[in-house]
Chains A and B, each alone.
Chain A
């Protein structure tokens, strides 16, 4: 089992819809979780982090964490074509970030 798993997609949603991205992790001791966005040919950029169970909202983005289920998700409301990118889930394990393989999101106008 991979340490951090994501559906590779592609996930296609129409403009204005909610995009839901999911991630599971294997290390129960992990305490901090991150979502990065990566445009094609570019490096990852941080969009959200979450440390506590529950929801954390930042503009159109909501991160959700359920440590009991070892599950992290990212919701993007009112999706825009500019949101089309690969979304990487990362988990802090022992001081280093372990990434999932990423989910490619395509927002269709």
Chain B
């Protein structure tokens, strides 16, 4: 499978716990994006990388969220001290360039109880 891969597909966690999600982009795609989507809303931009450099982080993203792409390949998104409001679908997407379309992974559905 050469598409964008996300792991895990589902995560249930207790409030206050830390969670980490992984995204493997399409090979040789140098841009990688993280989005969050709640029911009835479009994907909300969180952050993106050009290779290993984090170029932008949404001002809506609290300090509890951090993302890395250490070798310019896979990326991780960590949420510390989860809150119920963090419950959402977390989507990863990759693209070969800055103006082309993005391909999405299957998403990780987070439920905070």
Q: Which of A1-47 contact B (CB under 8 A)?
A: 4, 6, 8, 31-32, 34, 42-46
Of the candidates B48, B91, B104, B105, the one whose C-beta lies within 8 Å of that of A96 is: B48
| Residue of A88, A94, A95 most packed against chain B (CB within 10 A) | A95
User: Interface size of B by Cβ–Cβ distance < 8 Å?
Assistant: 24
Of the candidates B33, B42, B107, the one whose C-beta lies within 8 Å of that of A100 is: B42
Of the candidates A46, A92, A94, A102, the one whose C-beta lies within 8 Å of that of B42 is: A102
Residues B42 and A99 in contact, CB atoms below 8 Å apart? yes
Residues A44 and B43 in contact, CB atoms below 8 Å apart? yes
**Cα A94 to Cα B50 with chains together (Å):** 13
**Cα A102 to Cα B99 with chains together (Å):** 21
User: Interface size of A by Cβ–Cβ distance < 8 Å?
Assistant: 23
A46: chain B residues within 8 A (beta carbon): 101-103
Of the candidates A8, A44, A45, the one whose C-beta lies within 8 Å of that of B40 is: A8
Residues A43 and B106 in contact, CB atoms below 8 Å apart? yes
A32: chain B residues within 8 A (beta carbon): 99-100
Q: Does B41 contact A (CB under 8 A)?
A: yes
Q: Does A62 contact B (CB under 8 A)?
A: no
**Cα A44 to Cα B105 with chains together (Å):** 9
Q: Which 9 A-B pairs have the closest CB atoms?
A: A99-B42, A43-B104, A95-B98, A101-B42, A99-B43, A46-B101, A102-B42, A43-B107, A32-B99
Chain A interfacial positions (CB closer than 8 Å to B)? 4, 6, 8, 31-32, 34, 42-46, 49, 88, 92, 94-102
